[in-house]
Amino acid sequence: MTAGRLSIIHVDLDAFFAAVEQRDRPELRGKPVIVGGDPRSRGVVSTCSYEARKFGVHSAMPTRTALSLCPDGIFLPVDGAKYQRVSREVMAVLRRFTPAVEQVSIDEAFLDVAGSEALFGPAPEIARRIKAEVVAAVGLTVSVGVATTKLVAKVGSDLRKPDGLVVVQPGEEAAFLAPLEIRRLWGIGPKTADRLHGLGIRTIGELAALPPGTLTRALGDHGATLHDRALGIDPDPVVGGGETAKSVSHETTFAVDVTDAAEIERTLLALTEGVSARLRSAGIRAGTVAVKIRDSEFRTITRQKALPEPSDLTDTIWRAALELTRPEIRGKKIRLLGVSATQLGQPEQIGMFEVVDARQRRVVDATDAVRRRFGDRAVTRASLLHRGLPSPFERDPASAVEGRVGIPKIEDEIE
């Protein structure tokens, strides 16, 4: 990134999951579509159309609440596999303009177009072309922000949804941010916002006007970072052109709290199937496995362990996840379960464990080939049949809310 240069673009698909469903089913267009769990269960809203948002429905809201706010809402399950396919199509459009594309979730990405202007014109023109080409290629609208930094471009893309375009010229970053509410700034979550409200700070401009020392005393070193951000200062470059994801994760919320260890272990297997398949699809292996467990009292714990060697095999990752999970579920009612793979890297050479797993590797490769040809549900394990478990290749609405399967959040609140 060239400092002070108008070259950073943030692209954000509008109401992505709901928009895909409305695109594919014309009878849903103009209607309040809510993608998430069954409103009769304990699901959460993943995404909703703008028609539903008029009733107060929003992401991460319990679906039962969404139903009470919008009784005529059309509730649809999350089709993770379809949304991933569409996401890849959109990212391919973005890479027509620059290899410097940093995908930060299934529905958004940053671009640095500093090296593309000779071919496509200045950044605002590139942004307009991106909007038109995404519509032409996948039939969806995007909102776009153009600025000198990732922070300001992201804020810009959020301001005029749907189908918006906001350009913040060099030198106008602080003035652009000043009237906005502080929660729009990266790193300010509910707790930090409460502290700042206690100091009389409501807008980003008021935050920028506060002496840095005051912020440091109130928030520690994080205060100095927030002061820079309030001025539009963000040194974080766009990291694209082949950077691998930092994690791949899959989680599910049970319809009813579960105490049966066998059911929990089968669910863990289904989740691990999804994680390991995405690792293999991306050509990467995990060095560390982590589990996330939330009980009926909403206590959440995470545990992780390193693998003897990086792996993308379901059984290897599942065994590690089981070892982490078993001690934590005894005597508890489990509400949510998740598996994630981290410390990701490209396969290098066959390790000593891979020789032992050669037969398993052949079986996995054959299974993946069948699924690619006939669909994700073409092959599954006998132990997962007719169990009402999450499909290994479709994300639970709770995962979809996070929107970060394989990609870390860009929000970084420090509490």
Q: Measured between alpha carbons, how far is 43 from 398 in angstroms, rounded to an integer? A: 7
Query: Which residues, other chains included, contact 192 with Cβ-Cβ below 8 Å and sequence gap of 6+?
Result: 219, 222, 226, 413, 414, 415
> 254-288: buried (b, 16+ CB within 10 Å) or exposed (e) per residue?
beeebeeeeebbbbbbbbbbbbbbbbbbeebbbeb
User: Are the C-beta atoms of 268 and 321 separated by less than 8 Å?
Assistant: yes
The residue among 330, 338, 351 whose CA lies nearest residue 304 is 338
Task: Name the residues annotated as catalytic.
Answer: 108
What is the full DSSP assignment across 221-281? HHHHHHHHHHTT---PPP--SSPPPSEEEEEEEEEEEE--HHHHHHHHHHHHHHHHHHHHH
Q: In the numeric block, which tokens belong to residue 78?
A: 């999350």
Query: Which residues, other chains included, contact 298 with Cβ-Cβ below 8 Å and sequence gap of 6+?
Result: 335
Q: In Å, how far from its chain's centre is CA 413?
A: 16
Q: Measured between alpha carbons, how far is 5 from 170 in angstroms, rounded to an integer? A: 7
Cβ neighbour number for residue 375 with a 10 Å cutoff: 11
Report the relative pairing of strands 33-36 and 247-258 from DSSP bridges.
unpaired
User: Are the C-beta atoms of 20 and 85 separated by less than 8 Å?
Assistant: no
The residue among 394, 415, 411 whose CA lies nearest residue 402 is 411
